[in-house]
Chains A and B, each alone.
Chain A
């Protein structure tokens, strides 16, 4: 039984159909990568899992989200609130803006453990100091008393990670945790996250657009394209034998050492806008192998060898 099971969810905001039948599972101790270009619905999926979709005006019209054996859709806000931060934690995209700028760093971490674990102020502080130290931040006590604007971006993201870990969650949703950071810091942060998750046996849903990060960190991958799942498989299988043309293109876009200058090319065309998704397979306008079938029939997400793929052309 998976820790989190997202089953064919469809999401609308206003008149826009943003997600269409997105499905995947995450087991405890597993790192799942959720990959796709911007606009593919990655962050929206994260909002669904966090139960925060109504905050941005969205509704789940179909499907179910089962966390630890319990259906999350339709759960009252008070119940969802008790899950958030305590059992499912979020590491957000932009550490620069994720912390309250006028409240001390320490208090923002303490808040989580006093709220969810019922710790006293002193115990919460001790716990936070310990977490800060585990994240290899020097002088935890000084950082605990600092304000966000006194810290660098990389430091702030470590603080956000500490906040996520503060109540010992079972699942962490990390939404592009390194996009806003310098390249030199990115690898460090991913490394720290992977270590912590492995040590504690947590499940991690890692949202990224970077196949390099996927290769470095993940066990399994879900490739999203324009609000639908294109393909899902283990990292080894995806890189060895991508079944969906879009996945192949994504992998082709990873720069390699010794590549001829100018030979690295992006995927031709652009992600279609949600207001006019093409009929049939949504990737068909950019796909080299698409034919009439792809242009009018939506390919089902079917078992292809070790994984699942939604393509009329991929062999089983």
Chain B
């Protein structure tokens, strides 16, 4: 299992290099002198020269990339133009909020999605199934930020149950998690439902009935367990999708986090912050995918076999 983990981790290195290269290139592709995209407004020529020397801006592009990446890996992501402080500090401030939101939203989507999908599959064509199907349609068609705003209007403005915005207390997490959750639940429930109905038609399920295993045990211990395999596959592929939802939702709820940081810095053209937060989000997506692969291998002996 450990060698599998190591192998997957190694496979991520070229992906990381490619993504970091694109992010590095942002300041060079944007019209204008890269140095102007990296320094604070009203910098003196001396300050500019110091920075140019620090990033090796006179050197060939690949060397600049190597310098930038080396610094980034050692935690130096440059200084924010507007906020005038190290990007790494900004990320350290925002990351915990995004982590909390992302993890909770992922857990909520997975648990509720599996439960809803499984119930819909077992009680096919019942009220539970039809409700779930409607929720699935809404969850995949309603824009996340609009849903967030509706939830704010209902639960924060009208009912006053939860804070409108911010991240000062735990209950400020409820509405954001629900907002991302509906989309995630829709995705997970849809996959679970289809996978369970497909598994239920397999020969080995009929054999389990022939063995006299009670139906509920067959559904829970065998059919659901199989249905979870494609669920994990989809989740590991689309874990970034849920994190992407976090970007939108942070902005809507004016929550601190990598997403808000990214959107704000994009609007302010604060490129060092843009680069730093994109890099962190990309790493989060890659680690999420890795996590999905590991869970998949832990659940399916055939996957483990293929890796050996």
Contacts and interface: CB of A to CB of B under 8 A. Distances in A.
14 contacts: A50-B210, A81-B212, A83-B212, A84-B211, A85-B210, A86-B212, A90-B207, A101-B204, A102-B225, A102-B300, A111-B213, A112-B212, A115-B213, A163-B211
Nearest to A82: B212
A84 B212 CA distance: 5
Nearest to A50: B210
A284 interface: no
B116 to A, nearest CB: 23
Interface string B285-303: 0000000000000011110
A230 B142 CA distance: 62
Contacts of B300: 102
A174 B293 CA distance: 40
B170 to A, nearest CB: 38
Interface residues of A, number: 30
B299 A81 contact: no
Contact of A52 (B206, B229, B305): B206
A64 interface: no
B190 interface: no
Contact of A85 (B202, B212, B299, B302): B212
B208 interface: yes
Interface string B184-219: 000000000000000000111011111111110000
A149 B204 contact: no
A118 to B, nearest CB: 13
Given A86-B212, A115-B213, 18 more contacts: A52-B209, A55-B209, A81-B213, A83-B212, A85-B210, A89-B211, A90-B207, A92-B210, A97-B202, A98-B207, A100-B204, A100-B208, A101-B301, A102-B300, A111-B213, A112-B212, A147-B305, A163-B211
Shortest beta-carbon contacts, A-B, top 7: A85-B212, A90-B210, A97-B203, A84-B212, A85-B211, A147-B301, A98-B207
Contact of A97 (B204, B222, B226): B204
B302 A102 contact: yes
B196 to A, nearest CB: 14
A294 to B, nearest CB: 37
A138 to B, nearest CB: 21
A163 B302 CA distance: 22
Nearest to B222: A100
Interface secondary structure of B, over-half rule: helix
A70 to B, nearest CB: 16
Contacts of B208: 100
Interface in A243-301: none
Contacts of A50: 210
Contact of B210 (A52, A101, A111, A150): A52
Contacts of B204: 97-101
Interface in B66-124: none
A127 interface: no
A19 to B, nearest CB: 19
Contacts, number: 71
B211 A115 contact: yes
Nearest to A150: B305
Contacts of A99: 204, 207
A82 B209 CA distance: 11
B302 A89 contact: no
A287 B280 CA distance: 78
Contacts of A312: none
Contacts of B302: 101-102, 147, 149
Contact of B214 (A81, A98, A102): A81
A304 interface: no
Contacts of A102: 225-226, 229, 299-302
Most buried by B among A52, A85, A86, A89: A85
A86 B210 CA distance: 10
B229 to A, nearest CB: 8
Most buried by B among A81, A100, A103, A112: A100
A228 B203 CA distance: 26
Contacts of A101: 204, 301-302
A90 B213 CA distance: 13
A166 to B, nearest CB: 9
A147 B204 CA distance: 14
A92 B207 contact: yes
A94 B305 CA distance: 23
A84 to B, nearest CB: 4
Nearest to A147: B301
Contact of B213 (A77, A85, A160): A85
A77 B300 CA distance: 32
Contacts of A86: 212
Interface string A5-21: 00000000000000000
A160 to B, nearest CB: 8
